[in-house]
Structure 1
Amino acid sequence: MAALAELSLVLLLLSAVSSDYTLTDQDGLGREFDGIGAVSGGGATSRLLVNYPEPYRSQILDYLFKPDFGASLHIFKVEIGGDAQSTDGTEPSHMHYPDDQNYFRGYEWWLMKEAKKRNPNIKLIGLPWAFPGWIGRGENWPYDFPDVTAYYVVSWIIGAKQYHDLDIDYVGIWNERSYNATYIKVLRHTLDKLGLDNVGIIAADGQWEIAHDLVVDPYLNDAVQVIGAHYPGTVTVADAISSGKKLWSSEDYSTFNDEIGGGCWARILNQNYVNGNMTSTISWNLVASYYEELPFGLEGLMTAKEPWSGNYVVSTPVWITAHTTQFTQPGWFYLRTVGHLEKGGSYVALTDRRGNLTIIIETMSHDHSVCIRPYLPKFSVCPQNATFQLDGSFKNVKTLQAWYSKLCTNTTKPTLFKRMSPITVTNGAFSLELDVDEVYTLTTLTTGQKGTYPDPPASQPFPRKYKDDFRVRNPPFSEAPFFADQSGVFEYFINTSDPGDHVFTFRQVLTQRPITWVSDANQAISVIGDFTWSNITVSCDVYIETPDTGAVFIAARVDQGGSLAHLAKGIYFWVFADGTYKVTGDLQGEIILGKGLAGVRARRWHTLTLQVEGYKAYGFLNGNPLWKNVFTVGPAHGWAAIGTASFEFAQFDNFMVEAKVTE
């Protein structure tokens, strides 16, 4: 027993022994730091943000972009809208057709300007997820005519400057899809020829495969400035290192913005560099501002999904981001002396080469830092004492400002981005008692702020009764409030051919299937409302523009969106230009619940009303009963929706939805 007690004492003493880590620039510096960023797009992830009333919308933007306030992002990446479903919805293209250019569609232009307004130094990136169908000339492929695709992408860059005074810093190839070396070279040549040689190319926003091609193809190597990989798991490959290119995790995180999501973000922000020499990490996504029931709900750095109430939530990842972004800037350099802590966790240190030093330490445990992807092998982290020795340019530092977070997943309330008492550096050294699931920032900078605003309004469900006649329009945006396009593109339209009551309408504008990123539906559909709605009435004036073959629908209880929108079930009330109607239980129109004659014709306005109560549904045409007592099948609740049977012009007006309270 005495021997066992003695052994326990020895182990205790050993555990208390401090591990030493030297931070110095004496032998040179590591890689240049390029910044921390986030993505709006891929797709429609900021859709509801634009409809927030002030002051709440500006507050959300401040938490994301304002320096020394919240996330204080260095990089902002947006989708170059391609008219196709790209995760949580479609984003409109600036060129639906070859002879069509409009640089005011969508909200990414506005959002980039808001980011620049708060931080003029923020870097801007554009990346296509999809392309309009005309680029493929009948094929679901953007590379057969590389000069056409390059013209399309470069037009977006030029339009950003010409119409919005936005300088795009980087452009990508095709998100998480095949790259084409010829196209990349043509894109580089086109940029350079038009005086856009300052725009860097990031390739290829997938895995690291392109690194090998850069090594063996000098012309491709010259065309690419950054190798960007998605969800690399903090590691890279030898060819990427030997290429000499900047290495970025150009999309990462993709995780719920709870405490575990914060732990995931804290771990990869450090270890993407420690393990993989990646000098930028970009979060998908910026803000969870889309209906929560769409794919990957609540996976932004913060949440803003209720513009009708004004409620938003500043989540843990915002403050984890601040630990790095508020005390570094692109152009700083990592020290070479970075690495793993002896008992788990990691540390990085960066300098502005003018005497300032910032150290970020994380001790995230495995179970509290799991990202949704990729798989995270098991590891252990224990409490530990760490002593840091400052040397080189930093040996005369006397005091370090300290910011601290402690993440928890149990009932204990976390501590997030708290300013602590400064740490005294004695003889170039200081020690820390590190617990598990902590983040420290220690810095010579005296700036930094945990920005606050008064609490936003309380959360409220979508209004049970909602109307839109599409007459009141918010000029910067082409979409009507709260409608979330899942296939096709719906835009405000001025119907000059109709001088009557339907001058201002909402129109589906695509007539050709885009080059898709996922399995888009063959129908166009835009959803709205509350996913929990069951017993509701949906009404809308509709106008079929395509004689003989055109068709439109209104729907209730729609249960799928995003990349699964083509599989959406619900109750769909269709009318066709040939004078027939159909009631189906799915978007594809294969589950037929009823059909008959309606007398509807193209290029005439008609009013459709769909009433769903319990297991039965009723349809009205122009206020008169058309069908009744159709038994519902499939989902018991879901969104309301409007749409078309194909990619075709059609207009909608005087939309109304009213939901009954379900006991």
Structure 2
Amino acid sequence: MHLTAVSLAFVAALSSALAVGPWRATTYDFDDSSGLGRQYDGIGGLSGGGATSKLLVNYPEKERNEILDYLFKPNFGASLQILKVEIGGDAQSTDGTEASHMHNSWDENYQRGYEWWLMVEAKKRNPNIKLYCLPWGFPGWVGQGSRNPYQVPEVTADYIIRWINGAKTVYGLTMDFVGIWNERPYNSTYIKTLRKMLDARGFSNTRIVAPDGAWTISKDINKDPALAAAVDYIGCHYPGTLSTDDALKTGKQLWASEDYSTYNDEVGGGCWARILNKNYAVGRMTATISWNLIASYYNPLPFFRDGLMTAVEPWSGNYNVDTPIWLSAHTTQFTQVGWKYLEHGAGVGLLEGGGSYVALVSPDKKDFTIIVETMSHNHSLCIRPPLPAYDVVPQTMNIQLKGSFANIKELNVWYSKLGFDGQQSIMFQKKDALQLKNGMGSASLGMDEVYTFTTVTTGDKGQYDAPPPSKSFPLPYSDNFDSYAISEEPYNLAPQTGSLEAVSSNSARGKIARQTVLQTPAYWCRTASDTINKSLTVIGNFNWSDIYVEVEALVGKVNATDGVFVAARVQNGGCQSYSAKGIFFFVFPAQQYYIISYDLARTQQISSGAVSSEVMDWNKISLLVTGTTIQGQVNGKSVFNIQAPKMTKNGFVAIGTDTYGLADFDNFMITTASDGRRIMRENEERAHAKAKHTLYFEPEKH
């Protein structure tokens, strides 16, 4: 056995592991003489499903650019090769709603949402990155009176193609791939219709990935030549590195079109490293896409920190570069989309001592890369599916290059080791080159390691200075919405149902925030109460307990909601938003009525009664929560001061509407309970002074 510098460096570190089991020395051939395997389609991240990049948008510019570099810049960090985004549908789709480009059939607007911005930034850094779009939900009108987006296939296809065309004409973005409906039933007629209409409108190069769920479409593709012609790639979610015989029989490229979804600590990094290799070594999947791209949404909304990196504090600029970034780099910095895998048994397979290896070659065969992983079972568990038991032991890998690679004299080496049991993780470290004699070299492999052996010389571990320190959500907090572009979603306010955007008030108020959804969408989330017809937008710190919130709200005449609310201690966001608990203060101006409820659905009412509110005008709604006491005002006049002993102990602040429909918000503020008491006293004094002025100086009536 020919030991090299790269192997000798780890002998001492692995001495304790040797006692567990014997070293296994096995020779693995890397040979293209009999041909090549499948084309490599890339590694990517997914923004959406939903609102997972929400907090990234308003990061300070310096830190935001650093984060984007870690994700997309070639030879720097993750160097992602695919960016998948949600086609917003005004529907809750995991961590929030993303705005549709067509709230209504008569409405078309390509300034809404932040996926456009993200795709533009990704393309700036890597012009070769592939773009992939997919809907999770649809505005209610798309179903033409139903909540089924396949009711009229031409309507839904037109809706999707308008988004693709908007990306092209407004932002110069070409969609390489489009999906069907995330993890929901596919419809063969719709898929064929979408393909036909894409071709007719000049988007024949936008290829269809289906179904973005399970492998089950494979049987239909094998039976239906027209469907087979329409579908270019079969996309499965969380396949557990396994494909099916039916999928392989189609001859299509197979993708893990959504995978990972695991907390991004060392175990999460182990999950990602393992599936990046084994998705091809076991399941012959040629692309793997992480849900999500970046965990940039409030804690504890669902699946917190299940991203390649974490950025949840735009107010401080703090962010974390987590292990999946560097484990991605082991593949992405040393391959390109369009390379080919070697054949199984000739450069792709499972290691004798546990783990896996894959090898890829450039089209001109000038560059060659091997990626090896030895992730142990308990240190590489993904959130789903369950992982069958297996063993990994320290081993020696003899690399034997043959065919076109036989004359390679050395391979550059990059190394990572996940740290457990008090060990420090080593992430993406360049080691001495592996010297080859007669095409043969050896490496000692420990457990929970990743190696890249490559002819590529351009790899680099990008580095910025440490980001600013973490800080809590700032109080007091206020927003009058004047700083936003028209149609932009207000920062930090995270819609869970409904959709908010900045609009002109056509008055001295300047810009305001408007809830714009008019009817129940075709939801992705499936809950027992998903027909609740209300909008909910959360903000702040889930640990808030004693807190004050106020907002000015207007309920108009046309397409308007019935009422508006402010809320505190709000729990159950994401797909459980419909069962949200907290303290909700609803005001119905037209009825001059209020309701206090423990829940958004208003099934657990605390109090209700008449309230003097301005009909068809702005009303200031104020809520103070301290201990088990809640106090409320409308326009500075006290409405209630009562005990609510069953209320939740902590949660977000929220605003929203009692029914879908238009409502406007302005001069939103959150502050501490102590400041809130003072503000309420001042509100009462102003209201009292205004009432006296009206009483004594009302003009004479003739």
The alignment's TM-score, normalised by the length of structure 1, stands at: 0.96
2:354 alignment partner in structure 1:
344
The C-alpha deviation readout for 1:451-494, integer Å capped at 9, x for no partner, is: 0101000011101210001111257x711110000000011111
Q: Is the 8 A contact 1:533 1:659 kept in 2?
A: no
Match of residue 550 from structure 1? 562
Q: What root-mean-square deviation, in Å, do the aligned CA atoms of Structure 1 and Structure 2 show?
A: 1.6
**Counterparts of 1:645 and 1:14, CA distance in 2:** 64
Deviations 1:221-266 (A, max 9, x none): 0001000000001011111111111100000000001000000000
The 2-side partners of 1:76 and 1:27 are apart by: 34
CA deviation after TM superposition for structure 1 residue 136, in Å: 0.6
Provide the C-alpha distance between the structure 2 equivalents of 1:207 and 1:632, rounded to a whole number of angstroms: 46
Written as runs of structure 1 = structure 2, the 5 A alignment for 1:6-85 is 15-85=22-92
Aligned 1:304-323 pairs, distance under 5 A = 304-323=311-330
Distance in 1 between residues matched to 2:672 and 2:324, nearest whole Å: 35
Matched residue, 2:488: 478
**Partner deviation per Cα, 1:324-366 (whole Å, 9 max, x = no partner):** 0000000000001210000100000000032211000000000
Counterpart in the other structure of 2:679: none
Q: Please tell me whether residue 575 in structure 1 is matched to residue 622 in structure 2.
A: no
Q: 1:410 to 1:660 in 2, by over 3 A?
A: farther
Equivalent residue in structure 1 for 2:402, among 366, 391, 407:
391
Contact preservation (8 Å) 1:45, 1:289: yes
Pick from 228, 236, 240 the counterpart of residue 243 of structure 2: 236
SS at match of 2:61: coil
Q: Which amino acid aligns with 1:350?
A: L
Indicate conservation of the 8 Å contact 1:546/1:649, yes or no.
no
Partner of 2:385: 374
1:422-461 equivalent positions in 2, closer than 5 A: 422-461=433-472
Residues 183-228 of structure 1 deviation map (CA, whole Å, 9 limit, x = unaligned) = 0000000011112111100000010000110000000000010000
Could you tell me how far apart the structure 2 residues matched to 1:316 and 1:71 are?
10
CA distance in 1 between counterparts of 2:69 and 2:22 reads 44
Aligned counterpart in structure 2 of residue 100 of structure 1, from 107, 125, 130: 107
- Percent of aligned pairs sharing the same letter: 53
| Counterpart in the other structure of 1:588 | 601
Give 1:54-453 correspondences, 5 Å limit: 54-336=61-343, 337=346, 338-353=348-363, 354-453=365-464
Quote the offset at 1:179 in angstroms.
Answer: 0.3
Partner of 2:504: 494
Contact kept? 1:203, 1:227, Cα under 8 Å = yes
For residues 505-516 of structure 1, what are the structure 2 equivalents within 5 Å?
Answer: 505-516=512-523
Change (3 A) 1:279 1:619: same
Provide the residue aligned with 1:4 in structure 2: none
CA distance in 1, matches of 2:423, 2:473: 32
CA 659–124 in structure 1, closer or farther in 2 if over 3 Å, else same: same
* Superposed displacement of residue 411, structure 1: 2.2
SS at match of 1:377: coil
Deviation at 1:549, TM superposition (A): 6.6
- Is the Cα contact below 8 Å between 1:323 and 1:360 reproduced in 2? yes
Amino acid across the alignment from 2:190 = Y
Instruction: Give, in angstroms, the shift of residue 522 of structure 1.
Output: 2.0
Task: Give the Cα–Cα distance (whole angstroms) in 1 for the partners of residues 73 and 206 of structure 2.
Answer: 24
Aligned residue type for 1:555 = A
Alignment partner for residue 629 of structure 1, among 635, 642, 661?
A: 642
Report how far residue 545 of structure 1 moved: 1.8
What do residues 374-402 of structure 1 show as CA deviations (whole Å, max 9, x unaligned)?
A: 01111110011110100000000001100
The Cα shift of 1:18 comes to 1.3
Task: Tell me the equivalent position of 1:465.
Answer: 476
**5+ unaligned residues in a row in structure 2: which ranges?**
1-17, 676-702
Q: Name the aligned partner's letter for residue 442 of structure 1.
A: F
Q: Does structure 1 conserve the Cα–Cα contact (< 8 Å) formed by 2:301 and 2:574?
A: yes
> How many angstroms apart in 1 are the aligned matches of 2:481 and 2:425?
45
- 1:647 match: 660
Q: Is the 8 A contact 2:308 2:325 kept in 1?
A: yes
Indicate if the aligned counterparts of 1:97 and 1:132 stay in contact, CA closer than 8 A.
yes
Cα distance in 2 between the residues matched to 1:12 and 1:625: 74
Structure 1 residue 495: deviation in Å? 1.4
Unaligned runs of 5+ in 1: 1-10
Partner of 1:201: helix, strand, or coil? strand
Q: Distance in 1 between matches of 2:19 and 2:299?
A: 48
Q: Which amino acid aligns with 2:254?
A: L
Range 231-240 or range 597-606, more displaced: 597-606
TM-score by length of 2: 0.91
C-alpha offsets along residues 594-622 of structure 1, whole Å, 9 cap, x if unaligned?
A: 11101224421010110000011000111
Question: Secondary structure in 2 aligned to 1:55?
Answer: helix
Paired amino acid for 1:384: Q
Conservation of the 8 A alpha-carbon contact between 2:360 and 2:370: yes
Q: Note the C-alpha offset of 1:172.
A: 0.2
Residues 572-598 of structure 1: CA distance to partner in whole angstroms, max 9, x if unpaired?
111012110011110111111111101
Task: Identify the range of structure 1 (29-38 vs 406-415) with the bigger mean alpha-carbon deviation.
Answer: 406-415
Secondary structure of 2:285's counterpart equals coil
Aligned position for 1:8: none
The structural deviation recorded for 1:546 is: 4.3
Q: How far 1:17 sits from its partner (Å)?
A: 4.9
Change (3 A) 1:557 1:125: same
CA distance in 2, matches of 1:17, 1:549: 70
- Decide whether aligned partners of structure 1 residues 611 and 391 sit closer, same or farther in structure 2, where only a CA change above 3 A counts: same
Q: For residues 116 and 549 of structure 1, do their structure 2 counterparts lie closer, same or farther at Cα, with a shift above 3 Å needed? A: closer
Give the corresponding residue for 2:680: none
SS for the counterpart of 2:275 is helix
Do structure 1's residue 599 and structure 2's residue 604 form an aligned pair?
Answer: no
8 Å CA contact 2:624–2:673 kept in 1: the answer is no
In the other structure, the counterpart of 2:685 is none
Q: Does 1:561 align with 2:561?
A: no
Give the distance between the partners of 1:643 and 1:13, measured in 2 at CA: 59
Larger mean CA deviation between 352-361 and 639-648 belongs to 352-361
Residue 143 of structure 1 aligns to a residue in which SS? coil
TM-aligned CA distance change 1:14 to 1:315, over 3 Å: closer
